[in-house]
Structure 1
Amino acid sequence: SFLDLMQCGVWAVLLWPYLLSVSIPLDCKEEQGSLSRCPSISQEKLLDRVIQHAELIYRVSEESCSLFEEMFVPFPLRLQRNQAGYTCITKALPIPSSKSEIQQISDKWLLHSVLMLVQSWIEPLAYLQTTLDRYDDAPEMLLNKTKWVSEKLISLEQGVVVLIKKMLDEGMLTTTYSEQGLFQYEVQPEMLESVMRDYTLLSCFKKDAHKMETFLKLLKCRQTDKYNCA
């Protein structure tokens, strides 16, 4: 069937994050290990690996959102999502949105903004796994992609925390934004409502993953060419 052909055709796309995550580890050594226990890695190398991690997360989030949209969201509803009262769970966070705001904030707030975004998505993405399991026709590749992103987000959080300690000489931040009521569970919603909620989650996460990548790349630019990072 067409669905079978589509699933077979994207298996290569599904596998590349796993291959890249092995070839570009976020750990300070080439073998497996916890980034939070690796203070010997240089700040420059750590930032490069955190950026690579964020790039992968954003790319896979794009693929997951597109696949979900194609399989479960009728075309008219794709256009109505932003008009139906669905808002992103991170809207309440003090994250700069305009280019001028982003250019003006300090390195400290760039890192803290990334950490806020990462932490705020850990719980929703974990919950998304339980909702996707209820879809009768959810392809394995979609489940694998969202699971991969959820796991790598935790690793990214570890990397950003260590980066904050290195660059700003700060201890681990105790605030976990995913525990402050930003994400509210819904009990057995209607199927269409469930689809639109999950679609909103994936769409919002894709946008926030792009913000994480952008903030980290701006930080990297400031380290190398402070006056030419527009």
Structure 2
Amino acid sequence: MAHARCHGRKSFITVLYMVAVCGGIPINDLLDRASQHSDKLHSLSTTLAHELDSHFTPMGRMIMPRPSACHTSSLQTPSDKEQALQVSESDLLSLARSLLQAWVDPLVILSSSANTLPHPAQSKIINKIHELQEHSKNLGDGLNILSGKMDPTAQTISSLPYRGSNDIGQDKLSKLIKFHFLLSCFRRDSHKIDSFLKVLRCRAAKMQPHLC
């Protein structure tokens, strides 16, 4: 039975589950798969941001909140790769998990709000938001398993509650601004998550720091 499970589907979360059951996949292989999903997450959010940019007015750009207003801004994270290389593996994984967890509720808001978003590519945006949710869930499940294979620090998650309204606004401009702002914050955080996981993957492969 266990042997059969070890030859099941090769999806990300299935493979990570098999590791928990069968214990046969090295941690650097797990990090390879995790970084592939985080890369997809950032790529999707970047594509979505470009879709919105194509229909965003100059006035909207002027009054959109600054990145410091993102609900995850209170989390102290490395500002670049050089700083990330100075952070322990467990702390980096903890930061990635904290950021990912902080977006569970806001992604639900983006998903529900996309149905009324005044944008010509609305259907495409809806589909990509659903993809973001799916990849976030799978990546989060995978990182939970990875954290159990590392120092207990990796299992620590900082609380970063989203305190914004579930309503993205009533008029066209306010809807576009709030939706764009939330997505911009997610894009920024998905880039951090992807960067942290790539540093972890690099370390697991014992590559030289300048190659990370």
What is the TM-score when the length of structure 2 is the normalising length?
0.80
Unaligned residue ranges in structure 2 (runs of 5+): 1-8
Q: Counterpart of 1:202?
A: 183
Task: Determine whether 1:74 maps to 2:29.
Answer: no
Partner residue of 1:184?
164
CA separation of 1:37/1:122 partners in 2, compared to 1, >3 Å: closer, same or farther? farther
SS at match of 2:74: coil
| Number of aligned residue pairs | 198
1:42 aligns with 2:26: yes
Q: C-alpha offsets along residues 15-41 of structure 1, whole Å, 9 cap, x if unaligned?
A: xxxxxxxx9731344xxxxx4564123
| Pairing 1:155-166 to 2, within 5 Å after superposition | 155-166=138-149
CA distance in 2, matches of 1:81, 1:199: 8
Aligned to 2:71: 89
Q: CA deviation at 1:112?
A: 0.6
For 1:134 and 1:185, the matched residues in 2 are separated by 16
1:131 to 110, 113, 130: 113
Alpha-carbon distance in structure 1 between the residues aligned to 2:10 and 2:59: 40
1:194 Cα offset (Å): 2.5
Residues 183 and 38 from structure 1, CA distance in 2 versus in 1: closer, same or farther, beyond 3 angstroms?
farther
Contact 2:49/2:184 (8 A) holds in 1: yes
Deviations 1:178-208 (A, max 9, x none): xx53342254634222221110111111111
> Residue 171 of structure 1: CA displacement?
9.4
> What is the letter of the counterpart of residue 134 of structure 1?
T
Whole-Å separation in 2 of the counterparts to 1:111 and 1:81: 31
Residue type at the aligned position of 1:117: L
1:114 to 85, 96, 111: 96
Q: What is the RMSD computed on CA atoms of the aligned residues? A: 2.7
The secondary structure found in structure 2 opposite 1:181 is coil
CA deviations on 1:114-138 (whole Å, 9 max, x unpaired) are: 0011101111011111111122545
By how many angstroms is 1:57 displaced? 0.8
CA distance in 1, matches of 2:71, 2:103: 9
> Equivalent residue for 2:83?
101
Identity of aligned residues (%): 26
Which ranges of structure 1 fall in alignment gaps of 5 or more residues? 1-22, 30-34
